[in-house]
A and B are shown apart, each in its own frame.
Chain A
Amino acid sequence: MDLCFRSLKAQTWGINKPSSQRSSSTHIRLFYRYRDLAPQLVPLDYTNHPDVKLPYELIGSMPELKDNPFRQRIAEVFSEDGEGNMTLDNFLDMFSVLSEMAPRDLKAYYAFKIYDFNNDDFICKSDLEKTLNKLTRNELTEDEVKMVCEKVIDEADLDNDGRLSLEDFQHMINRAPDFLSTFHIRI
């Protein structure tokens, strides 16, 4: 909610404060991070809600994201057009969900969307295979990949339809001890 409020304020003030008065609160920092990606595209004054979208290549080259194998999926999930081109709102959204303060259910919801490569609201076997190959950089053999995906479906699929729905995923991820600490980006 703080992020919400402050992004509003950021937009009204027009962010034309000189750099010496730059405060260290999160919203201003995030706006400046967004702007630093492409200073020529992003204006300082947001009062007129300019329709500015940064292309995926710029987002994917941020230091926080560039080593993440799922960066493309993350950008696609949070962007309006589904292609990875993000407005300031999408940008703020993304980092607020991935921050420490976001509630567990919200993170689980977005994690599900990230791992659902074909956007069909289910994590099916092919999604699992893609996830696994991204995680291991294609080091595992085909048999091993198949075995792991079968095991995952075995473990987590509660309604026995051969793929993971959002409820299956949430049920499984809510018990994971590491989920909150790994699904977290600090910026």
Chain B
Amino acid sequence: PHPSHFSPGDEDFQENHERQKHKGKRRNGERPKNKRENQRRQRSSKSVQGIREESQSTTERRERRRRRRGKEGEDEEEVNNDGEVRPELLSPEELEKLKEAVDEKKKLIQSLRGKPWPMKQKLVSLRESQLFVEKYEGALGKGKGRKLYAYKVMMTKKWKKFQRDFENFKTACIPWEMKIKEIESHFGSSVASYFIFLRWMYGINMILFGLTFGLVMVPEALMGRPYGSIPRKTVPRAEEAGAMDFAVLWDFGGYAQYSVLFYGYYNNQRAIGWFKFRMPLSYFLVGVGTVAYSYMVVIRTMARNANESGVGDDNSFNFSWKMFTSWDYLIGNPETADNKFASITTSFKEAILEEQESRKDDNIHLTRFLRVLANFLVLCCLAGSGYLIYFVVRRSQKFALDGLENHTWWERNEVNMVMSLLGMFCPMLFDVISALENYHPRVALQWQLGRIFALFLGNLYTFIIALMDAINLKRKEEKVVKYNITMWEASLYNGTGPENSTGPPVTIHPADVPRGPCWETMVGQEFVRLIISDTMTTYITLLIGDFLRAVLVRFLNHCWCWDLEAGFPSYSEFDVSGNVLGLIFNQGMIWMGAFYAPCLPALNLLRLHVSMYLQCWAVMCCNVPQERVFKASGSNNFYMAMLLVILFLSTLPAIYTIVTIPPSFDCGPFSGKNRMFDVIQETLESDFPAWFSKVFSYASNPGLVLPFILLMVLAIYYLQSTSKSYREANVELKNKLQMVTQRLDNFVLLTSYGSDFILNA
């Protein structure tokens, strides 16, 4: 006798089943149903652990009862007192239904988090579903291969638990989370977004550091030839006297220059160490790999951000969003709250004005004229700063020719100082000029960011052009030195004896060998100096502009004519966009210089680490929350886009130098080759079997490469057009939806008479 109908997933399934079973079987009077009911009620009011203990005890009780019944020689029942179902006695359809029920309960457990029920209800239904699943899932597995099934189920559960624990562990491992939370609660999400960006950059630099340190610096240090063994690894005799001076070391000359920190130290030996580590190949591939990794990470983050923002071009809910999403629930500080109230009010007033105002045509000509004037002034500024940098670089080259000792500290560090100072003062100038333009603040901010971006870019490229001039100079010098060396070698052999070729080899100390000017090390040094001075400038500006200012305002306030805190200097605000741009350009310089100075990622890692702590402290100590709170969400992809542009632009000069300029003849891992990328060719020829290089030569045939490029262009075009058509389809569907709702609404209104029929969609 099987139960004729039961509703799967029903808790009463058990009860119905039992009742059917026990209809005609009355033993010992009253069936202890009440006890069972009480048990069930008790079970559902205790905790999961308690339940597990209880179910263990009920299993024991079940076993005992079964044994007792067996002794008494009763008929075998399908169901014992506790309502356990033996599925080998159920028909296949019932088995199916049972399986469905279990799956449904599992789905319910998964989706429970998203249901808007009160906690108690969720807990109750969670316990019920879990009980049900536990009871019947194991049972389902009985019969065929039940051990395997039960084992699988147990492993899945353990795996899920492990995954959950791992996720929790990962979240706990995120560095600086509490610091950022504190800043977020004081200053809102826009300022915190800068620190989150900083932390993300730190992660990238960590990987870059790992690559350069582990695959370039450490092998050369451990397995390459030691300091002093060959000319390129030794400080020249002329410089030996001052090689240990702090001033020289700070300038990255002396012992710092002839170390693994710079390109020039590396030997061009093809394989070093006992396991034949291919040093030049590794150097080249690490250089390419850092760029490739950076591209991949930036594009992946952009794609993720784009997905999250969804169809974010909507402007149709302007006021609704202002009303329901402008209050930042993270604010936990009365000062910030005050500022937020003020900024919300201002933003509403602005929006109302924009809505009410019809375009006034009176002074449109004046506005246009002023805007053109402002842009002209800005262009003059940019041109002026570009020329200033070029001039200063030229001067520094002249100083270098005279010998650096004859000049003051300022003259020696002129280039870097000028660049940093320009980066500090020009944005302020742009800010003043933009007052002429009378734009909407958001538009004005975008113009401001664009101009600062152009300024930094212009400065950077002027710097690079000046650097290229210096490189060309060094290469000319190199030719001269090469010639001199042949003369010098000849003079050596002439000195020992009349027979030039059979004279004993003369041992010269490596420090005495005349050296070529290593232009790659020079480039690396320039970048390192630039980064250091930029860092110093930032920190000093921070300490003076923020900390000193705050101290002055706080302590001079009560003996000053006007209110310092409300009036002129007051406390500074945290300049999110300026700092983010600074960070982005800093990273651009790292990408540019990392090929010639493997120490740059390490330096940057240190700088970011210190910056995080210093700026966190400075923000909490000296800054006040912004008046106009900058929305963080929309700008995430904007900053990523700028980072991508900078990445592209910074790798261009490095690629140009690698591809066109022959490496120095006596320093670096590529010395002696015609071009730096010849190392790839060399590896293919010597390290790979012969057929490989044949295949590669076929693959690099223009006849094959061009069609491949054409194919990729076509693929991009195809994907672009499909995405456009999807977007259009989306818009059409939206419109259709609105139309249908309208139509339905009208229909309902027509077919009803009475205004109290309201459509609930």
Which chain B residue shows the least CB distance to A160?
A: B745
| A residues in contact with B329, CB < 8 Å | 68, 98, 182-185
B398 is an interface residue with CB less than 8 A from chain A:
no
Which chain A residue shows the least CB distance to B127?
A: A8
Name the interface residues of A134-180: CB closer than 8 Å to any CB of B: 135-137, 139-140, 144, 147-148, 151-152, 155-156, 158-161, 165, 167, 169, 172-173, 175-179
The answer to whether A115 and B334 touch across the interface, beta carbons within 8 angstroms, is no
Bound form: Cα–Cα A151–B322 in Å = 11
| A residues in contact with B126, CB < 8 Å | 4
Query: A4 and B331 in contact (CB under 8 A), knowing A176-B321, A178-B321, A186-B181?
Result: no
The answer to whether B349 and A140 touch across the interface, beta carbons within 8 angstroms, is yes
Pick the residue among B116, B317, B331 that contacts A175 (CB under 8 A): B317
The answer to whether B50 and A12 touch across the interface, beta carbons within 8 angstroms, is yes
| A residues in contact with B320, CB < 8 Å | 152, 155-156, 172, 176
B319 is an interface residue with CB less than 8 A from chain A:
yes
Bound form: Cα–Cα A137–B633 in Å = 25
Query: A4 and B318 in contact (CB under 8 A), knowing A103-B114, A135-B323?
Result: no
Bound form: Cα–Cα A137–B346 in Å = 12
Q: Which bracket fits the contact residues of A?
A: 35 or more
Name the interface residues of B159-210: CB closer than 8 Å to any CB of A: 164, 168, 172, 181, 184-185, 189
| A residues in contact with B102, CB < 8 Å | none
Which chain B residue shows the least CB distance to A154?
A: B319
| A residues in contact with B50, CB < 8 Å | 12
Name the interface residues of B309-344: CB closer than 8 Å to any CB of A: 309-312, 314, 316-321, 323-334, 336-337, 341, 344
The answer to whether B118 and A93 touch across the interface, beta carbons within 8 angstroms, is yes
Q: What string of 1s and 0s marks CB contacts (under 8 Å) between B341-379 and chain A?
A: 100110011001001100000000000000000000000
The answer to whether B326 and A4 touch across the interface, beta carbons within 8 angstroms, is no
Pick the residue among A110, A165, A186 that contacts B761 (CB under 8 A): A165
Bound form: Cα–Cα A181–B312 in Å = 15
The answer to whether B631 and A178 touch across the interface, beta carbons within 8 angstroms, is yes
Q: Which of A105, A158, A181, A183 is most buried by chain B, counting CB atoms within 10 A of its CB?
A: A181
Bound form: Cα–Cα A93–B119 in Å = 6
Q: What string of 1s and 0s marks CB contacts (under 8 Å) between A98-118 and chain B?
A: 100011011001110001000
| B residues in contact with A131, CB < 8 Å | 323-324
Distance from A28 Cβ to chain B, minimum over Cβ atoms (Å)? 13
A83 is an interface residue with CB less than 8 A from chain B:
no
Distance from A43 Cβ to chain B, minimum over Cβ atoms (Å)? 16
A63 is an interface residue with CB less than 8 A from chain B:
yes
A22 is an interface residue with CB less than 8 A from chain B:
no
Bound form: Cα–Cα A94–B318 in Å = 28
The answer to whether A167 and B352 touch across the interface, beta carbons within 8 angstroms, is no
The answer to whether B119 and A90 touch across the interface, beta carbons within 8 angstroms, is yes
B532 is an interface residue with CB less than 8 A from chain A:
no
Pick the residue among B123, B189, B337, B761 that contacts A8 (CB under 8 A): B123
The answer to whether B122 and A148 touch across the interface, beta carbons within 8 angstroms, is no
| B residues in contact with A160, CB < 8 Å | 742, 745
Query: A137 and B49 in contact (CB under 8 A), knowing A68-B329, A175-B311?
Result: no
The answer to whether B49 and A158 touch across the interface, beta carbons within 8 angstroms, is no
Main secondary structure of the interface of B (DSSP, over half): helix
The answer to whether B349 and A8 touch across the interface, beta carbons within 8 angstroms, is no
Pick the residue among B109, B164, B327, B349 that contacts A69 (CB under 8 A): B327
B113 is an interface residue with CB less than 8 A from chain A:
yes
Distance from B752 Cβ to chain A, minimum over Cβ atoms (Å)? 13
B457 is an interface residue with CB less than 8 A from chain A:
no
- How many chain B residues touch A (Cβ–Cβ < 8 Å)? 69
The answer to whether A159 and B310 touch across the interface, beta carbons within 8 angstroms, is no
A11 is an interface residue with CB less than 8 A from chain B:
yes
Query: A67 and B631 in contact (CB under 8 A), knowing A139-B345, A173-B324, A173-B325?
Result: no
B47 is an interface residue with CB less than 8 A from chain A:
yes
The answer to whether A177 and B634 touch across the interface, beta carbons within 8 angstroms, is yes
B758 is an interface residue with CB less than 8 A from chain A:
yes
Distance from B194 Cβ to chain A, minimum over Cβ atoms (Å)? 14
| B residues in contact with A54, CB < 8 Å | none
Distance from B219 Cβ to chain A, minimum over Cβ atoms (Å)? 41
B741 is an interface residue with CB less than 8 A from chain A:
yes
B218 is an interface residue with CB less than 8 A from chain A:
no
Pick the residue among A4, A115, A156, A165 that contacts B112 (CB under 8 A): A4
| B residues in contact with A181, CB < 8 Å | 189, 328, 632-633
| A residues in contact with B321, CB < 8 Å | 172, 176, 178-179
Which chain A residue shows the least CB distance to B336?
A: A67
Distance from B676 Cβ to chain A, minimum over Cβ atoms (Å)? 46
Bound form: Cα–Cα A109–B113 in Å = 13
| B residues in contact with A92, CB < 8 Å | 119
Query: A136 and B634 in contact (CB under 8 A), knowing A4-B112, A4-B122, A68-B331?
Result: no
B120 is an interface residue with CB less than 8 A from chain A:
yes
Q: Which of B109, B115, B312, B321 is most buried by chain A, counting CB atoms within 10 A of its CB?
A: B321
The answer to whether A67 and B333 touch across the interface, beta carbons within 8 angstroms, is yes
Distance from B262 Cβ to chain A, minimum over Cβ atoms (Å)? 44
Bound form: Cα–Cα A99–B743 in Å = 40
B48 is an interface residue with CB less than 8 A from chain A:
yes
Q: What string of 1s and 0s marks CB contacts (under 8 Å) between A63-103 and chain B?
A: 11011111000000000100000000110110010100011
| B residues in contact with A7, CB < 8 Å | 119, 123
A9 is an interface residue with CB less than 8 A from chain B:
yes
B759 is an interface residue with CB less than 8 A from chain A:
yes
Pick the residue among A69, A140, A159 that contacts B348 (CB under 8 A): A140
25 inter-chain pairs at a CB distance below 8 angstroms, sorted by A residue, are A1-B113, A4-B113, A7-B123, A8-B48, A64-B332, A89-B123, A106-B113, A109-B116, A132-B348, A135-B345, A136-B348, A139-B345, A144-B348, A147-B355, A148-B352, A156-B317, A158-B761, A159-B745, A159-B759, A161-B759, A172-B321, A179-B321, A179-B325, A183-B329, A186-B184
* Contacts from B to A (Cβ < 8 Å): 46-50, 109, 112-116, 118-120, 122-123, 126, 164, 168, 172, 181, 184-185, 189, 309-312, 314, 316-321, 323-334, 336-337, 341, 344-345, 348-349, 352, 355-356, 631-634, 738, 741-742, 745, 758-761
**8 interchain residue pairs of minimum CB distance:** A67-B337, A12-B47, A89-B119, A151-B319, A93-B119, A136-B345, A178-B325, A109-B116
